[in-house]
Amino acid sequence: MTALEIKAILPFMVLAAAQVAIILGIALRRSHRLTFALAIGAVIAAVLAVLLGPAPSPHSLTPLLVVDGYAVFFIVLILLSGLFTFLISYGYLEARRENREEFYVLILTALLGSIVLVASTHLASFLLGLESLSVSLYALAAYARTSELSFEAGIKYLVLAAFSSAFLIFGMALTYAEVGSMEFTAIAAKAATPGMGPVFLAGMMLIIVGIGFKLAVVPFHMWIADVYEGAPAPVVGFIATVSKGAVSAVLLRYFMQVDAYGGNSLTLFFVCIAVASMFVGNLLALFQDNLKRLLAYSSIAHMGYLFVAFLASGGLRVTAVVFYLTAYFIVNLGAFGVVTILSGKERDADRLDDYLGLFFENPWIAGVLTVMLLSLAGIPLTAGFIGKFYVLAAGIDSVLWFPVICLIVTSAIGLFYYLRVLIVLFTPAPENAAAVKHTLSAGAFALALPVFLLVGLGVYPGPVLTMIINLAAR
């Protein structure tokens, strides 16, 4: 390997070495504070290795991986999301009886799998990254061993994820049999041809089923509400952002190879998924009294919105998807960060009643959640509004009128349940109601970061948009 290739692969090596170091440290002496410091240091070192590495021109690391400007952007976004997860998890774990140190090892393993995903240009590296991420998430979902809901979430996620992986691998086998290559460029070239054979079409459908499960789009969404409700709050925030974001990033890398993507069976399949996800996600969220489940169904709808941009063509597609994913990362980390900070020793603060009159008890935390909900709803002066605007622009530019109309209608439906949560926050609790005591940890100060980023990107998105446009032009 050349010096440039070593610099390009250094973030992957840092995360892998950190896992080994932490495991050896746990074997010698358990210390939550030391493990936390090592994990934080490892992620910071990986971020620095990315930023101080070679220029973001494409550096191929074997035929499986490429570190280009697009990969660098998502690697940094994923690593910073992991860093935020560590910051809000320390106090959460301190209040619980579970072994705390292994939590950081699992998160680091998931981060490594995620950055392998976003740098993948080959189905083999895609599968390796996806399984490294997924296996870590199985354990993380069931990490609260004393909670029946957490154990149930882990089992459901394990069984259904294994089932979807079988579809994914079988689809890869059929695709390879037809194309003779597992590289994205070769598969995309085949998909762009007008006469796709039945074997190739079946293989692509099976791969979409596997990816659809990871993104929790309809009809592959059965697991998401139960896993979100049962898994520990910081884990849910991680699943909602890093897991979905990494899979979306690798899916976009594939779509970037396909310019003539329209008028075939795969297009119709994606349109059906997008429309169904927008309607089912928003309608199911209307009836939820559990904030975790509400955000779970809301995330289904947001994946439907994102698919509208995936289906678009031209430069706006990449701009819309990347900016929307950036806003989606920030808002979900902030929302589940609030749930994490407010959670007590016995259970997570996931019931809407837990937030009754929160503004009068803690205006700062209520304000943070308010900004997150406004961004999810796509209200102006937030990053969510800019992201949804670019998704609409990409859809209109590609004359995707039916999905665009569905996006507008379902966004209006979504305003209802976001407003419902806001009303709870600003409604004084009855005098005879049992007060919910919230013990705030130092991680509450970390919530200032997502608020600043959401409002900053909503008011002045220019620098980030320019960076994304430059990445798309490479």
Count other Cβ atoms within 10 Å, centred on residue 401: 10
End-to-end CA distance of the chain: 24
- Buried-state track 13-45, b at ≥16 Cβ within 10 A, e below 16: ebbeebbebbeebbeeeeeeeebbebbbebbeb
pTM of this prediction? 0.91
Residue 62 CB partners (closer than 8 Å, separation 6+): none
> What own/partner pairs with CB < 8 Å and gap ≥ 24 does 429-433 have?
429/356, 429/357, 429/360, 433/356
- Buried-state track 198-214, b at ≥16 Cβ within 10 A, e below 16: eebbbbbebbbbbbbbb
Torsional sign, CA 284, 285, 287, 293: positive
Contact between residue 243 and residue 228 where contact means Cβ atoms under 8 Å apart: no
The residue length of the chain stands at: 474
Query: How far lies 130's CA from each of 111, 245, 297, in Å?
Result: 11, 12, 23
Query: What are the domain boundaries of the chain?
Result: 261-474
Q: Give the closest residue to 250 by CA, choosing from 187, 300, 301.
A: 187
The amino acid occupying position 369 is L
Q: Give the closest residue to 303 by CA, choosing from 340, 335, 275.
A: 275
Q: pLDDT in tens for each of the 474 residues of the chain?
A: 677 778 888 889 999 999 999 999 888 888 888 999 999 999 999 999 888 866 556 666 777 888 888 888 899 999 999 999 999 888 888 877 777 888 999 999 999 999 999 988 888 889 999 999 988 998 888 888 777 888 888 888 888 888 888 999 999 999 888 888 888 888 877 776 766 678 888 888 888 888 888 888 988 888 888 899 888 889 999 999 998 999 988 888 877 765 434 556 677 888 899 999 999 999 999 988 999 999 999 999 999 999 998 888 777 888 888 999 999 999 999 999 999 888 877 788 888 888 888 888 888 888 999 999 999 998 998 999 999 999 999 889 888 889 999 999 999 999 999 999 999 988 887 765 544 445 455 567 788 888 999 999 999 988 888 888 777 655
